[in-house]
Amino acid sequence: MSSTVEPNWFVNYYRNSRNTSKSYRAAMLIMFWLHFILTWSVMLSLIEVPDRHYNDIILRSFLEASLLVAVCHCLIRPYLRMNLIGSSVDIKGSLKGLLYVALISFIYFLSSYSMGQMSFLKGTDISQIQVITQKGELGGEVTLLAIAIIGTLESFATLFLWSVAYLVWQFHKNKKELQVQVNESQIQQLTNQLSPHFLFNTLNSIRALIFADQEKAAEVITLLSDLLRNQMQSQIQIQSTLEQDWLLTSKYLAIEKVRFDKRLELTVDLDESTLLEQIPTLTLLTLAENAIKHGISTSSKPGFIHIKSQTITPNMWRLSVTNSVYSPKDQPGTRVGLHNVKKRLELMFARQYKFASALDNEQFTVSMELPHVKSTNR
């Protein structure tokens, strides 16, 4: 018996810090130079610059830009990817995110302020700035408390805007990747399920039924027509309800039922409360095809497929597909279909889902625990 194992927090944090795309690295490089130029310009306007401090300002600007990139990449980005991206964020999660950004903002400010206290950057110490009154006279120096408040607020605004920009960018990126996965899955379904071999077997079944049961033959032809029409002519959506996915899957299984007759026993127990739950399109159809391909078609013995959905907690529901496997050694399978399902679940639900597959006592079960994401339309 085998099942998937979730990585621990440190491993997950390391992966989220290390994995970057070319577009992300390019955006961070642009942000680095923009922040460098902005810091350099502001310091030139605020600080009286003798020639001996000019190089200090350039070095300080470089360090400030490097610090911003490091904070965003190493502290803010992993938190967003592990807790907010791809999840249904509630008020509690949003407040925790804001508090985390506020804490990092204070740390960011302290690090930035400490740079000015270093001996070789003393000429860039912003605590030495004096206020000019309306009469043009020099006032007192800005207090440390005022600098801390203003600096922390400025740091918070910077990190908050970066977080929002990153979340929006990641949302569009995940949506695009999910669409690619669905399109690839559709092509795979059309290749595997509606291949010439599948059509040949179906047509042979229909031919036999024409002489034995003409009404049933007509029904199978209608099912095949509907399946072809739904897969080849309709616009595939990124997500669909469990009810919609089952309507398509039922047509596929009805045709396979004609092929295998008594060799296939199908039981379906879909909780009505889960029918409007959102899942990646073609998820159930992929699992049904996997059960047919690696469970029913590999053995001459009668087999079964059990499909079940149920609500397990106020926040989660479960979808499972179990099929008989009498000759697992003969057909080990590539698990490509299951990998595609898990990848699309990850893109849609991030870390809020659980996926497990297990072979036990000649039964193979795929079980998914998913968060409630219901469609408002029937």
- pLDDT over 90 at 348, yes or no: no
**CA gap 336, 304 in Å, rounded:** 22
Residue 176 is predicted with a pLDDT of 79
Lowest mean pLDDT among 118-132, 320-334, 361-375: 118-132
- pLDDT over 70 at 256, yes or no: yes
Is the Cα dihedral 358, 361, 364, 368 positive or negative?
A: negative
Q: Using DSSP bridges, classify how beta strands 363-371 and 316-324 pair: parallel, antiparallel or unpaired.
A: antiparallel
Which of the four pLDDT bands, split at 50, 70 and 90, describes residue 198?
low
Q: Residue 321: is it exposed, middle or buried by C-beta count within 10 angstroms (0-12/13-18/19+)?
A: buried
At 100, list the tokens: 């985390």
Between the CA of residue 270 and those of 239, 277, 306, 315, what are the distances in Å? 18, 11, 10, 18
**CA gap 355, 349 in Å, rounded:** 11
Q: Using DSSP bridges, classify how beta strands 303-311 and 316-324 pair: parallel, antiparallel or unpaired.
A: antiparallel
288: CB partners within 8 A, 6+ apart: 249, 252, 253, 305, 307, 321
For the chain, report the end-to-end CA distance as a whole number of angstroms: 39
Residue 234 is predicted with a pLDDT of 47
**CA gap 111, 159 in Å, rounded:** 14
**CA gap 41, 56 in Å, rounded:** 13
334: CB partners within 8 A, 6+ apart: none
Residue 16 is predicted with a pLDDT of 65
Lowest mean pLDDT among 103-117, 190-204, 253-267, 299-313: 190-204
Beta bridge pairs of residue 21: none
Beta bridge pairs of residue 354: 369
**CA gap 360, 363 in Å, rounded:** 5
DSSP letter, residue 277: B
Query: Are 181 and 344 spatial neighbours (Cβ–Cβ below 8 Å)?
Result: yes
Which of the four pLDDT bands, split at 50, 70 and 90, describes residue 9?
low
What size, in residues, is the chain? 378
Residue 376: phi and psi, rounded to 5, are -90, -5
Residue 346 is predicted with a pLDDT of 83
Buried b (16+ CB within 10 A) or exposed e, 16-50: beeeeeeebeeebeebbeebbeebbeebeeebeee
Residue 2 is predicted with a pLDDT of 41
| % residues pLDDT > 70 (the chain) | 77
Between the CA of residue 11 and those of 7, 8, 75, 287, what are the distances in Å? 6, 6, 15, 30
Residue 306 is predicted with a pLDDT of 97
Instruction: Map tokens 């985390």 to a residue.
Output: 100
- pLDDT over 80 at 8, yes or no: no
Instruction: Map tokens 């990153």 to a residue.
Output: 166
Mean pLDDT of 94-115: 90
**CA gap 119, 222 in Å, rounded:** 83
Between the CA of residue 15 and those of 19, 67, 273, 353, what are the distances in Å? 6, 21, 36, 18
Highest mean pLDDT out of 74-83, 91-100, 302-311: 302-311
Q: What is the mean pLDDT of the chain?
A: 80
Which of the four pLDDT bands, split at 50, 70 and 90, describes residue 357?
very high
- pLDDT over 90 at 128, yes or no: no
DSSP letter, residue 143: P
Residue 4 is predicted with a pLDDT of 43
- pLDDT over 80 at 377, yes or no: no
Mean pLDDT of 297-309: 91
